[in-house]
Structure 1
């Protein structure tokens, strides 16, 4: 199944709801999720998820080369009692990463937040915009990337999906963040993208780019002062999220001060300041998108 076929069959709003449902299933213990396998410092990843109630599994093999276009290549193999199929992993990965950001933004951003700053204009960027727009309809979008031409290309490509939204690019991070109510960081940076003082006092920040312990997009001071720091799964974050590992190592945060997202779907503590969501991705999110595809690909509506 090609990337184009996947995108024809899965829309972002339903992907967000599928991932929201899967988070609850993970919390309820309905999945077996082996630790992600890493080869060659994360250049090759293997992730698997098995859902006990449906006897359905998704296994993803992913090649990641930061300097390659596209950076992500690979396959997802879905198996259930009705059969088996193979799909493009890059499309599933970008959709599910957008979807988990949509869930987190829906929980943690102010109900009327509508101004998005996107830092990074790579392959993950369009689905970040689509996901935030699905849960917090945007009035304004500012895109920053070190490659100004890439920012312009993204804005040109996505503008048609955002009628009535003020869309622009900038060459300065501080300018992008000045009036932001939601921030999405989607870069391969190994150092923080901005200082704490560049952020407004009430803002929600999503960080998706770093996937190795040596990579970081966010400053330690943000972790030290945020009202809430949230991950999808603490175990995965402690293994792979450079920001989380660094913040714990220097005392900016403790593990007891890091929340998992699933319990917050039912009850979220009061928020008056900044919030952070850090995702490294778990295989159950791939499974959620694969199940949507299975329902459209096989004759088994219970997949």
Structure 2
């Protein structure tokens, strides 16, 4: 389920972000329900927990995928291949999304002086190519899955990423809670201030913070069960807490950045630029497409 929140990062390079990004977000819930929850329900109906193909350790990744196994159990020859193709498109889509977001994150850190300076470099198209190269090199770690011994290392990295996702959600929720507190303290009406207002707030923010923070500590609980203790597993399940906490504490002390009260948080810097940008795109939309090609492209995009 991790990843849909990164759509917000596309706003930095999207056309008319105040209009297009909320529209993209509105489709997420339906897609998650249909493809993830619905898909898991269908697989759970078709594949019993003790299926020998599912529990056979020799079959890994696509060959041991419950989605592929469910198609095989239906005994329709072409379906497993179709599912494999669908899984490949999903992997390509995820890889594209994470490459984009990771490279833009590195570039943004470099601009803030929190990452090496060479990551600031852009090509003629405005793409932070050095950051993209670094991210693509890191993706080569996926080849660890090809070796039986190195696959263990890949498993550790995946556990580390899972914990990082929980931490990510916790920080996002805390950020929104502080943002909401700043609006209240400064007498700003959220419905008038924001172009789109999210539902179930502030309760959804507290819910996300509670769930993210709880699962951050519980997602590696099995290592504490009798006979399951492994130092390496413990480090990769819970190391992100020490790493992120240490970096945050170091930066706070080293840079002496202040803790701000809700009434003192800056909510307006750069706002005029985005208001002007939104007005510019509104005038562009008012210009009706002339040719059929323009009309079709406008309808699609």
What TM-score comes out, normalization by structure 1 length?
0.27
Q: Greater share of strand residues, 1 or 2?
A: 1
Q: 1 or 2, which has the higher helix percentage?
A: 2
Q: Which has the higher contact order (CA 8 A, sep 6+)?
A: 1
Q: Tell me the TM-score normalised to structure 2 length.
A: 0.27
Give the number of the structure whose alpha-carbon radius of gyration is greater.
Answer: 2
